[in-house]
Amino acid sequence: MKKHATITRMVTPDHLCPWGIKALDLLKRSGYEVEDHHLKTMDANEAYKKEHGYDETPQIFIEGEHLGGYDHLREHLGKDPDPKEGETYQPVIAIFAVTFLMALTTTWAMLGALNVIRVLELFIAFSMCALGIQKLQDLKGYATGFVQYDLVAQRYVPYAYVYACIEAGGGILMIAGLLTWIVAPLVLIASGIGAVSIIKAVYIDKRTLKCACVGGDSSVPLGFISLTENLMMIAMAVWMMVKAL
């Protein structure tokens, strides 16, 4: 016989509680037969919590015994807690992983083979575009983080916006090798300043900061990964100029 669980969660026309959805899914995947109760208004949700003395919904019962909320369910089932907000390299790793695979498939589609040099060129250019998009989608939020460590942006804030455009635009033009003697020097200067700024902030001043490489409200710590972004851009700029000679 299946184990039985009851869940009470908020399901209103304007809001579906994400923890309720995740708890329901986890119960079903864990083999429970679930009795799913909906709180269909915000008032009903507040009244339910007040009546029973709960701080939150959803609330889960296993075989008639009160268990608690979503975190209690994960603990009961022996699952690791959901990751909380904090420092993580996941956004940058995701971007680099996807752009590297894009570079591989694009090179294969263009050449019918995997040319290592072309893969690396496209990987860096695609990464610049993707990271530039992250900055451009929230320029003000990105600039707030960027000015905390970039040496030029600290003296002239609009440079933060210029940097985002150089990164995204440089990546776009480098894909096709266009305007090399304009784009490559701009990318080299901007990324060189960025590298020096990160080295000073992290390794000399020993400051603990968030990296603006993935835009505003970043959870990526400023450090080696951030420096790597700038070193990749420096390498790409130098390589494009060498090729153009």
pLDDT in tens, 203-222: 999 998 888 888 777 788 88
Tokens 């909906």 appear where?
Answer: 38
pLDDT tens digits, 56-102: 999 999 999 999 999 999 999 998 877 665 678 888 999 999 999 99
Between vectors from CA 83 to CA 82 and to CA 86, what angle results, nearest 5°?
Answer: 155
User: Can you give the pLDDT of all 245 residues of the chain as single tens digits?
Assistant: 679 999 999 999 888 899 999 999 999 999 999 999 999 999 999 999 999 999 999 999 999 999 999 999 999 999 887 766 567 888 899 999 999 999 999 999 999 998 999 999 999 999 999 999 999 999 999 999 999 999 999 999 999 999 999 999 999 999 999 999 999 999 999 999 999 999 999 999 999 888 888 877 778 888 888 899 899 999 999 999 999 98
- The single-letter DSSP state of residue 210 is B
Residue 58: phi and psi, rounded to 5, are -80, 160
**Residue 109: Cβ within 10 Å count:** 8
Q: In this structure, what is the dihedral angle of CA atoms 214, 216, 221, 225, given to the nearest 10 degrees?
A: 20
Quote the CA–CA distance of 54 and 123 in Å, as a whole number.
50
